[in-house]
Amino acid sequence: MRKKNNSFGIKSILKAEVAPALGCTEPVAIALGCAAAASLLPDEPIDGIEIWVDPNIYKNGIAVTIPGTGGLSGLDTAGAIGALGGAPELGLEVLNPIDDAVVSKAREILADGKVKIHLLQDQQGLYIKSVVKGARNTGECVISGLHDNIVSLKHNNRKVTENALLSKRNQADGKPELVRLEDWLKSRRLSDLVALLDELDAEDLDFLEQGIQYNMRLAEYGLKHGSGLSIGKTMERLVRQRLMCRDMITSARILTSAASDARMAGVKLPAMSSAGSGNHGLTATLPIRAVSDYIECDREMILKAVGLSHVITAYVKAYTGRLSAVCGCSVAAGAGATAGIAYLLGGDLRHIAGAITNLIEDLAGVICDGAKAGCSLKLSTAAGTAVQAALFALQGVQVQSTDGIIATSPEKTMQNVGQLSTQGMIDTDRTILKIMLEKQFAVE
């Protein structure tokens, strides 16, 4: 939703950056691409699938469980299931219609070697090309920039121009809409970002509340069933055994990790994502929800805090990129969460800046080694640190600009994280992928 003054606002950010996502967004994006390509071949049996992906999509899709599959994982599995039974019109909830019959068919074409994955080692930025071949026709889909941003569809190598699946945000004045939004975010100061909260209307607040509800359902499921690594449920048990104390920090860690436990285990419940990631969405919202149980605050304050969290998460991601060697749940969503918590606790701009600075100093070195059950541990750390960083800032504790990558302003500090991610850790990212590939092929 563009404003007449040629700038963006809170609605633009929420619309572009916050959306329901069923399953880890990297394999889901592959499923979406294959479902979109297959939709160009109505009532025609699928004879083969080929998928080309950038290194980070590959890294994040290798090990995570896919919802509705009974524990299956893998990029080839995601592509097969998406092509055979996905609903591309549902976007990042493409896997919602998946049932046992679809999974059974997917197993068959996988066993027959009909799904091929190609790693584009030198590809920069999020990129997925899916080609689905039928007996007579071929469908192709390209997703770029965002996990649900379908930029191209082809039927038998001919470009499709009239299709509801094609993203409406692809081009504006010759520039992708996401790039325009990110450029605008980069031009803002922290005070400008906080001021955006004044634009939130009843519709926005309801949407933010829906996001909390989505993510709380995942947390409740994880706590009840002990999904995945069961980090959240284990921490709750330790509290009951009086081996840990329940406080703001522990509560944030329990809620956030329990939700990640469920999501990484492939539970068929959507998360409200942030900046293209469901785990970012969990980190951006659930620590704030946990803190709200310990203080006097009303609904609007909680939802504004969550809104600020999404905005700061988007700001950091504008510098780090959608996927990188640095764990975005820690440095991006973590920064968002701590800003929101500082705001919820009554902090002013100085406290919010201090909280962000404290968190980045603490977590800037956390690597992203793909999506998997172990992400729950990182989300637990990010959630607890987000609360701690805000509490420290409110007590006057703030890391100084003489320390490491910390700058004289929170804006520059967040920019430095982006530089670390996009320039400083390129070789780190390649090494992480190399280790993962060697391990995968050794197992095979």
Tell me the pLDDT tens digit for each residue of 330-341: 999 999 999 999
Which range, of 155-164, 201-210, 342-351, 417-426, averages the lowest pLDDT?
417-426
211 and 69: one domain? no
Residue 197: enclosing H or E segment and its boundaries?
none
Q: Is residue 15 part of a domain?
A: no
Q: Is residue 6 part of a domain?
A: no
149 and 62: one domain? yes
pLDDT at 293: 97
pLDDT score of 3 more than 60: no
Q: Is residue 5 part of a domain?
A: no
- For the stretch 181-198, pLDDT in tens is 999 999 999 999 999 999
C-alpha 270: how far from chain center: 12
- For the stretch 20-37, pLDDT in tens is 999 999 999 999 999 999
216 and 334: one domain? yes
Nearest C-alpha neighbor of 99 from the set 57, 146, 67: 67
pLDDT score of 106 more than 90: yes
144 and 203: one domain? no
Among the three residues 104, 126, 159, which one is the final residue of a domain in this structure?
Answer: 159
Dihedral over alpha carbons 182, 186, 191, 193 (to 10 degrees): 10
* Contacting residues for 307 by C-beta, under 8 A, at least 6 apart: 10, 14, 196, 197, 200, 204, 208, 340
- For the stretch 60-85, pLDDT in tens is 888 889 998 989 999 999 999 999 99
pLDDT at 444: 52
pLDDT score of 174 more than 90: no
pTM confidence score: 0.92
pLDDT at 43: 83
Instruction: List the CATH number of the domain containing 48.
Output: 3.30.1330
374 and 240: one domain? yes
Q: Is residue 185 part of a domain?
A: yes
In single-letter form, the type of residue at position 164 comes to A
pLDDT at 198: 97
What's the whole-number mean pLDDT along residues 98-121? 95
414 and 335: one domain? yes
pLDDT score of 120 more than 70: yes
pLDDT at 138: 97
Structural domains in the chain (count): 2
Residue 388: enclosing H or E segment and its boundaries?
helix 375-394
pLDDT score of 176 more than 90: no
More confident site: 168 or 180: 180
Contact 326, 59 (CB under 8 A): no
190 and 147: one domain? no
More confident site: 293 or 177: 293
Q: Is residue 132 part of a domain?
A: yes
Residues of the domain holding 207: 180-437
Instruction: List the CATH number of the domain containing 335.
Output: 1.10.4100.10
Burial label, 246 (beta-carbon count in 10 A; 0-12, 13-18, 19+): middle
Angle between helices 349-363 and 333-344 (to 10 degrees): 150
Q: Is residue 16 part of a domain?
A: no
pLDDT at 441: 60
pLDDT at 436: 87
Among the three residues 124, 159, 194, which one is the final residue of a domain in this structure?
Answer: 159
294 and 383: one domain? yes
pLDDT band of 171, cuts 50, 70, 90: low
67 and 122: one domain? yes
pLDDT at 67: 92
Q: Is residue 373 part of a domain?
A: yes
- For the stretch 136-146, pLDDT in tens is 999 999 999 88
Q: Is residue 13 part of a domain?
A: no
Contact 55, 26 (CB under 8 A): no
136 and 226: one domain? no
pLDDT score of 374 more than 60: yes
pLDDT at 2: 38
Structure tokens at 80: 């097969």
pLDDT band of 173, cuts 50, 70, 90: very low
pLDDT score of 288 more than 70: yes
Residue 266: enclosing H or E segment and its boundaries?
none
What share of the chain in percent tops pLDDT 70?
95
43 and 136: one domain? yes
pLDDT band of 1, cuts 50, 70, 90: very low
317 and 404: one domain? yes
Placement of tokens 């890294």 in the chain = 59
pLDDT at 175: 57
What is d(CA 60, CA 62) in angstroms, rounded to the nearest whole number? 6
pLDDT band of 322, cuts 50, 70, 90: confident
Among the three residues 128, 159, 190, which one is the final residue of a domain in this structure?
Answer: 159
pLDDT score of 100 more than 50: yes
